[in-house]
Amino acid sequence: MTITAIADGTITSPQGFLAGAASGGIKNPQAPRKDVGILFSKAPCVAAAVVTRNKVKAAPIIVSSEHVADGRAQAIVANSGCANACTGPEGEEEARKMAAIAAHKLGLASVDVLVASTGVIGVRLPMDRLSSGIEAVELSRQGGHDLAYAIMTTDTRPKETAVSFAASGRTAIVGGIAKGAGMIHPNMATMLSFIATDAAIQPVYLADSLRRAVDISFNMVTIDGDTSTNDCVFLLANGLVGNEPIAAGSPAAVEWEEALTRVCQHLAKEIARDGEGATKLIEVQVRGAVDVAQARSAARTIAGSNLTKTAVYGSDPNWGRVLAALGRSDAEMVESKVELHLGYLCMMREGRPLAFSEVEARALLDKPEVTFRVDLHLGSAEATAWGCDLTEEYVRVNSVYTT
Amino acid sequence: MTITAIADGTITSPQGFLAGAASGGIKNPQAPRKDVGILFSKAPCVAAAVVTRNKVKAAPIIVSSEHVADGRAQAIVANSGCANACTGPEGEEEARKMAAIAAHKLGLASVDVLVASTGVIGVRLPMDRLSSGIEAVELSRQGGHDLAYAIMTTDTRPKETAVSFAASGRTAIVGGIAKGAGMIHPNMATMLSFIATDAAIQPVYLADSLRRAVDISFNMVTIDGDTSTNDCVFLLANGLVGNEPIAAGSPAAVEWEEALTRVCQHLAKEIARDGEGATKLIEVQVRGAVDVAQARSAARTIAGSNLTKTAVYGSDPNWGRVLAALGRSDAEMVESKVELHLGYLCMMREGRPLAFSEVEARALLDKPEVTFRVDLHLGSAEATAWGCDLTEEYVRVNSVYTT
């Protein structure tokens, strides 16, 4: 593998991608911040998307799913401050208009523009302010940083990364940005992620590889068990590196998937680490499961348990809560076979609690990254999930969000 | 119906039931409180139990399931402060010993004593102190109140109720107690409930009617999405009223199920109202679902959503969160048909947000009981779930529980 992190990497690190952001005053015209942004590729792109499985789909999700159906796109327009969800047929019309305004500015067809919105549900987009915001966006090769900032809601910091990889003898780059914070849960939560690469990739394979990478990254993050109406991951590949298009089964495919997964997992962990009110990242590794679906369920259920999360917050080595969460997951388990570790400490083996130093356990729980490892000793499937602790600050942030 | 609430009703309100509690110092010998209790019937009882579906079952659940398998029991022994869960074969042996100690005191066979424990997981029972506690229990006709107190953990108040009903021409009583607080979720969470009646009821029918009542009461309560290892509902019927045993399909059966459901729903709502850190009871009524399972999933998912719960806490009319929770539930839904009410205010109809007075919405959310009504307009099935708001106090309580 020749995958290398790019310093200060972002979504505009790959060739031919420009981005920018501007203040639309979407959420609050009195206190404007950058809340409208655009990603643009100089060349047409092969494109793929993975969107929320929530049965309530926001208008931009509906529109973007249509626009990406042909496997092509050349730009993304996004806003924070208003999700344009639960807004009826009028909201859908406004999402189409948002794409059209950006398309006009960029000299593209509407169908080549994907749309994403995040923020409060049930409120209509302020189209005048949004339109002015889109017009005000200035695109640049460094603009990925601004775009990453513009899509933030309760995030405390932007999430960006890029890596280089070998694409059929040439060096390509894949970079991405994301916003997360609350309402994050398996199957895509209030989470936007945009990913771009200058490698050439075959369309069907691009979509397949994105789905696989999302399954072991964004879909393994849980903040609060709530899945949003607006989640989406968009991936654009403009091929400007000039490599032979990467196809399934080719040698370059292994490298590409590793690079894409690296980007997605980095962003997913950043989302968990920056969960609303979070002070710690929780990583849950499950192995020995009967199959991967069960391993994932076990890891996500533990990482998403309010009682696990509050125990980690309080650095309380109450490992029984981890076991109770495991027991209500979809994973088969035999209590007398279960092994449970907190960091390097084994807390349970063959279903029996082990003596451990509470001082050492608390020291492990006091760290900014807390790892639980579970071995079910039933099979060979494994999975990893990420979450964060549950704090008073989470409650404060979420009890006053619309106000 | 002739169902009437009994003043100061508890589990010893029906004839022939005695109870009592004592201090075993189970959790903290230095600060003893009543933490060991017994329910005893003067006559042998027909008995039924519904226990946790968590795959990790505490030792007392395993032992009680064996003891109730013959449909008979005459006493319950319970403790708080230690769950005797995840304690391996030793823990199971100790649960058996706990039943045996109580049986010896009461002059019964062990198999006629059910056992229940609640508290911290992964810690062994202090058998000496437990044994002294059991010995110290004094039984009385008013002892139900003490028993309700002894099973509390982070509950702020005991939960008790009783009603009278007509049993084949005689007046019978059914009374119950419960403990709840945290880790409460569909399918029986850290929740103990004991119910007693002096009516005579056929054994198989007793178990069936308990399952039905639990499905629309305790199984519709959610505090934090966590399901415990120790949950159980035990029901004892001693027949001392002398009625002809109530059987399925008999006229008395309707009255009995209504009375039993009344007791179970009262206790379930008290558990939700007294959830850890809770300031408000949330009731979610779903109708128009395709089937009952879907109606239940929708109601429970909304009531259990951290984002719904924090919005209610902050009296924030952010109804989009209710819709987002609905959309990730197992219920079929068509967004353009959904109708959503907060109390008397309609917030959404046919998938479109409606204008409403934020002042009125906040006033409804400021009340101690907040009701959401959802009509899916797809079928005729309905269900109701109960939950509570999520507060900073929940986090505080749960981040320091074992210490």
Q: What tokens appear for A170 in the block?
A: 């040439």
Q: Any catalytic annotation for residue B190?
A: yes
Chain B contact present for A391, CB below 8 A: yes
Delimit the domains of chain B by residue range: 4-273, 281-399
What chain B residue is nearest to A393 in terms of C-alpha separation?
Answer: B392
CB-count exposure of residue B244 (10 Å: 0-12, 13-18, 19+): middle
Ranges of beta strands (E only) in A65-108 are 72-82
- Opening angle at CA A156, ends A195 and B325, nearest 5: 75
State whether A318 and B402 contact (CB < 8 Å). Answer: yes
Question: CA of B71 to nearest chain A CA: how many angstroms apart?
Answer: 27
Of the candidates A167, A127, A354, A386, which has an alpha carbon nearest to the alpha carbon of residue A278?
A386
Is A311 close to B120, i.e. CB distance below 8 A? no
Taking alpha carbons only, the member of B142, B68, B78, B173 closest to residue B111 is: B68
Residue of chain A whose Cα is closest to the Cα of B365: A399
A117 near B CB under 8 A = no
User: What are phi and psi for residue B253, nearest 5 degrees?
Assistant: -65, -40
Architecture of domain A281-399: Roll (3.10)
Whether the CB-CB separation of B84 and B60 falls below 8 Å is answered with yes
Q: What one-letter code names the amino acid at A376?
A: L
Q: Which stretch of DSSP H or E encloses residue A352? A: strand A352-353
Residues in A closer than 8 angstroms to B398, CB to CB, are 306-307, 310-311, 314, 390
Q: How many CB atoms lie within 10 A of CB A171?
A: 14
Sheet with strand B381-388: strands edge to edge:
B352-353, B345-349, B339-342, B369-375, B281-289, B381-388
Q: With pLDDT > 70 as the criterion, what percentage of chain B qualifies?
A: 95
Query: Across the interface, do A352 and B394 touch by the CB < 8 Å criterion?
Result: no
Each residue's pLDDT expressed in tens, for chain A with a length of 403 residues? 589 999 999 999 999 999 999 999 998 888 889 999 999 999 999 999 999 888 888 999 999 999 999 999 999 999 999 999 888 899 999 999 999 999 999 999 999 999 999 988 888 999 999 999 999 999 999 999 999 999 998 888 999 999 999 998 899 999 999 998 654 443 334 789 999 999 999 999 999 999 999 999 998 987 655 557 788 999 999 999 999 999 999 989 999 999 999 999 999 999 999 888 889 999 999 999 999 999 999 999 999 888 888 889 989 888 888 988 898 899 999 989 999 999 999 999 998 889 899 999 999 999 999 999 999 999 999 999 999 998 888 787 777 644 3
Is B122 close to A320, i.e. CB distance below 8 A? yes
- Rounded to whole angstroms, the Cα distance separating B291 from B379 reads 7
B113–chain A nearest CA distance, Å: 25
Q: Which residue has the higher pLDDT, B121 or B228?
A: B121
Q: What is the ipTM of this complex?
A: 0.74
Q: Is A326 on the interface with B (CB under 8 A)?
A: yes
B243: DSSP letter: P
Contact residues on chain B for A327, CB-CB shorter than 8 A: 54-57, 227, 229
* Superfamily per CATH, domain B4-273: L-amino peptidase D-ALA esterase/amidase (3.60.70.12)
Q: Which residues contact A107 (CB under 8 A, 6 or more apart)?
A: none
* Chain A contact set for B183 (CB, 8 A): 307, 324
pLDDT digits over B189-221, tens only? 478 999 999 999 999 999 999 999 999 999 898
Name the residue with tokens 């494109």.
Answer: A47
Contact assignment for B317 to A402 by CB distance below 8 Å? yes
Tell me the C-alpha to C-alpha distance, in Å, between residue B74 and each of A394, B15, B86, B167, B192: 47, 14, 27, 21, 17
Six-digit token string for B86? 């995840």
A325 touches chain B (CB under 8 A): yes
Nearest-CB residue to B401 (from A185, A225, A316): A316
Please provide the size of chain B in residues: 403
Six token digits for residue B94 = 């100790």
Residue A341, strand partner residues: A346, A373
Least confident among A36-45, B53-62, B96-105, B161-170: B53-62
Asked whether the beta carbons of residue B353 and residue A311 sit closer than 8 angstroms, the reply is no
Q: pTM of the predicted model, to two decimals?
A: 0.83
pLDDT digit string (tens) for A182-241?
Answer: 544 433 347 899 999 999 999 999 999 999 999 999 989 876 555 577 889 999 999 999
- Per CB-CB distance under 8 Å, the chain A contacts of B87 are 352-353
Distance CA A307, CA A323 (A): 11
Q: Does the distance separating the beta carbons of A225 and B306 come in below 8 Å? A: yes
Q: Do A313 and B395 touch (CB under 8 A)?
A: yes
pLDDT at A227: 59
Place of tokens 């409060």: A120
Q: Which amino acid is at B398?
A: N
Cβ–Cβ contact A333 with B under 8 A: yes
Output the CA torsion sign for A181, A186, A190, A192: positive
**B310 in contact with A, Cβ within 8 Å:** yes
User: The tokens of B128 are what?
Assistant: 């000496």
Provide the 10 A C-beta neighbour count for residue A88.
17
Positions of A marked catalytic = 190
Which tokens hold the place of A360? 């050492």
Interface of B with A in 197-256 (CB under 8 A): 224-229
pLDDT tens digits, residue range B19-64? Answer: 999 999 998 888 889 999 999 999 999 999 999 888 888 999 999 9
In this predicted structure, what is the pLDDT of residue B26?
92
Report chain B's mean pLDDT, rounded to a whole number. 91
Residues forming a β-bridge with B78:
B37, B116
Is B403 within 8 Å of A316 when comparing Cβ atoms?
A: yes
| Closest CA–CA distance from residue A322 to any residue of chain B (Å) | 10
